[in-house]
Chain A
Amino acid sequence: MANVVQAKNAGSEDPILQYVTFRLADETYGINVMQVQEVLRYTEIAPVPGAPAYVLGIINLRGNVVTVIDTRQRFGLMNADTTDSTRIVIIEVEKQVVGILVDSVSEVVYLRESEIETTPNVGNEESAKFIQGVCNKNDQLLILVELNKLMSDEEWAEVAAL
């Protein structure tokens, strides 16, 4: 897949980027496809006592233990019940493999870099910091998430120091 993307990038001033879109509450978010490893159906998440609040728990990913982050808590949303369409997206950030819990995963969209607009500063400090930009596609607002900023620098540092 990487080759395809690169091939398209080559010779083009306005590279095409691929984003995986997922829904959380009533919004659609996008994450860079290169950071997504796989999408899982909801499996039971074992809570870890004493873990930070943004950690939902751990899951068994074919014999490996993967931490799942509570995206709703991160985005300042209310907790919701899991449904049939609830998914765990396994992503790789800063050389760590983590899962994020989302309401549903929709599709992979192709965006030109020029289509991405900077975030309208609506003042929601809590969630704005990890928004990379927004994009209007087919009359729908797509919020692009910068996964590296899903946790603050201090939190990454905290994780790294552990």
Chain B
Amino acid sequence: MSFDVDQDILQDFLIEAGEILEQLSEQLVDLEQSPDDPDLLNAIFRGFHTVKGGAGFLQLTPLVDCCHVAENVFDTLRKHQRQVTPELMDVVLSALDTVNEMFDEVRSGQMPDPAETELLNQLEYYAQPESEAGEPPVSAGADITEPPAAPVEESVVPEPPVAAVNDAEGDITDAEFESLLDALQGEGGPPSTPATASDPVSTSGDVPASGGDDITEEEFEALLDQLHGAGQSPTSVENENTPPAAQSSAGVAGASGGDDLITDDEFEALLDELHGSGGAPVQKSEPSVPTAPAVSKSPEPQKAAPAEVASTPATPSPARPAAEKKVVAKKDAAAPAAEATVRVDTSRLDDIMNMVGELVLVRNRLVRLGGESSDSELAKAVSNLDVVTADLQTSVMKTRMQPIKKVFGRFPRVVRDLSRKLKKEINLRLIGEDTDLDKNLVEALADPLIHLVRNAVDHGVELPDLREQKGKPRVGEVVLAAEQEGDHILLTITDDGAGMNPDVLRRKAVEKNLLDQDAADRLSDQEAFNLIFAAGLSTKEQISDVSGRGVGMDVVKTKISQLNGTINVWSEEGKGSRIIIKVPLTLAIMPTLMIMLGDQTFALPLVNVNEIFQLDISRANIVDGQEVLVIREKTLPLFYLKEWLVPGADVSRDLKSGHVVVVSVGTQKVGFVVDQLIGQEEVVIKPLGDMLHGTPGMAGATITGDGRIALILDIPGMLKHYASSTR
């Protein structure tokens, strides 16, 4: 089912809510660590609330329903009516998952399916204060007769001592609120102002404790009393937005807005009283819309759900200033957040990056020209430009950088869920979350890292009992660390688990026909550990849905190599394992060795280059038609790059000396004869474009300091293409 909403609003919602959901997942896991943190509880409450608000505005009813009950749970929690338990967290986390699923559906343009009834029921159960909710969630669910779409609570939920009527829900606009207050005060007369004071039933402390934004049952009744007592018609107030439908439909109306935990009975009582006191029947001006308006400032009174409005007459009683304060506080909180950041399309950033790159080239040319001129004014201007451009370049680079927190943030949840599932006790420690790296890299690293962390939890850390037997603390530790090391980022995943046995790895490799016995025996321990990256190898005896199929590590390795990174394993049996990933800071810049062939410039990726030396041609031999060099008692195939890359070039073999660049491809080493060496240079990789993409041996192109083009060579690809065709 698709739905029709303003795409701009939808996109804004998706971005904003997406971020909130990400934060929520983090916050929920934090909450388990510090269950009593009121700030955290409030933050989570607000998170669900904001998503609900946005969804309500877009009329995504299923999403609203699910967020709403989750929100209620946290309302109960923050009022200390319930303690955070692992079971509760499981339910809430699965609620978050459900919300995320719905969110994805919305993103793909579909109306989300309603959440599972069972989940909603469970959430509702937890939304009740502990003292009141004696029933287990399942039977609570059984009690409910209404369909899941309407999260009706009032008919089932026993009356909580403090009914959660949240005026902060944003269901009432400020203006309405004010006018309502005024109206009540004006018409209701003096009694309504000293509400709490004159309230005969009011119990102590409840209102202030809950932050003044909740209305207690008692207050509600007090209000009724007052209204009653006042004996004046509140009709004019109601005209604006009291839907209660006044009539017998009240029960139904109340049901759809059952959010406030006001029971039908009470609701009807209120209506009766209003009727009685007002005399004139309340006019129902709008049809009831069961969804809540998005924002508290939303100028759409007609959307106010019936029950929410029902709460409206009640709201004035908890001392007006308190409510106002809340509204003001909300405004304050929202304003700076909205202005601190601007969303920019990444492609626009790329464009800017490109243009800055061009500017740098022009600068370089100017610097060269300035150096030749004797005009000191010009020299000054040029050097100024030099500095400014360099600053500009770094700032633009920085805009593309993101803290690795963005990836790390999801791991607490991953580890928590897994460890609960596997009945392990694991503490995840994150180090260096603020390390910045290129945005693309952050995204590209997410999958491999998740895989590695799952592995550490599943394969690495042992079961608590086993750990105790081994004399280790019951709680295992997984450390995820990131740090910048020169122009690289170093990521390590360390666990203090069982570690790996190199012999087992060797045996497995032989069993799976990856190696023969001899080759396996020859492997050093370090090489044996690296076997885990081979496809089809898993040391886990049993396959689970977590891991053990032996795919994955090879995918991780491939992924990391695609990022020009390296991955290494260190392990000690009984002590734990450590996986070390090294990736460049950014994908856009690559260190290269620039060489000349004829009058053309080429760049060899520096990662492949091993050494450079002068060639003494007399030392070259020919073996089976292939020229080879003997270097430190090792033979090295020798290729003339010019022969491959410069068409029609004539390569004189009788030169006394030439430059040889030794490159390594995998374990193999090859020598390339080149005309000239220019030096090491960091280059910005430019794709060759659709037409030339995939040309054998070419990884891309770059623009040199003088504005010319240098081709970046893809050494493995080049060898494969040319070496095999010449032989």
Contact = CB atoms under 8 A, between A and B. Distances in A.
A49 B690 contact: no
Given A50-B721, A51-B695, A65 B686 contact: yes
A25 B463 CA distance: 81
A67 B647 contact: no
Interface residues of A, number: 23
B678 to A, nearest CB: 15
Contacts of A67: 688-689, 691-692
B278 to A, nearest CB: 64
Contact of B358 (A49, A63, A66): A63
A124 interface: no
Contact of B708 (A44, A48, A66, A162): A44
Nearest to A68: B691
Contact of B600 (A47, A98, A160): A47
A79 interface: no
Given A48-B695, A162-B694, A60 B703 contact: yes
A58 interface: yes
A65 B691 contact: no
B647 A47 contact: yes
Contacts of B695: 48-51, 162
Interface in B682-727: 686-698, 700-701, 703, 707-711, 721
B698 A50 contact: yes
Nearest to A98: B691
Interface in B635-660: 644-647
A59 B709 contact: yes
A50 B697 contact: yes
A63 B360 CA distance: 10
B691 A96 contact: yes
Contact of A48 (B361, B644, B690, B692): B692
A49 B694 CA distance: 12
Interface string A148-161: 00000000000110
Contacts of B709: 44, 46, 58-60, 65
B562 interface: no
B692 A49 contact: no
B693 A65 contact: no
B647 A58 contact: no
A48 B691 CA distance: 12
Contacts of A51: 692, 695
A153 B560 CA distance: 37
Nearest to A160: B690
A49 B703 contact: no
Interface in B325-373: 354-355, 357-358, 361
A48 B689 CA distance: 12
A63 B690 contact: no
B166 to A, nearest CB: 53
Contacts of B700: 65
Contacts of B646: 49
A58 B358 contact: no
Contact of A46 (B358, B361, B687, B708): B708
B707 A46 contact: no
From B357, B690, B693, residue with most partner A Cβ within 10 Å: B690
B688 A65 contact: yes
B689 A96 contact: yes
Contact of B687 (A50, A65, A98): A65
A59 B701 CA distance: 10
Contacts of A64: 354, 686
Contacts of A63: 354-355, 357-358, 361, 686, 703
**5 closest Cβ pairs, A-B complex:** A162-B694, A46-B709, A63-B358, A49-B645, A67-B691
Given A49-B646, A50-B721, 18 more contacts: A46-B600, A46-B709, A47-B647, A48-B688, A48-B695, A48-B711, A49-B698, A50-B695, A50-B698, A60-B703, A62-B358, A63-B361, A65-B687, A67-B691, A96-B689, A97-B689, A98-B691, A160-B690
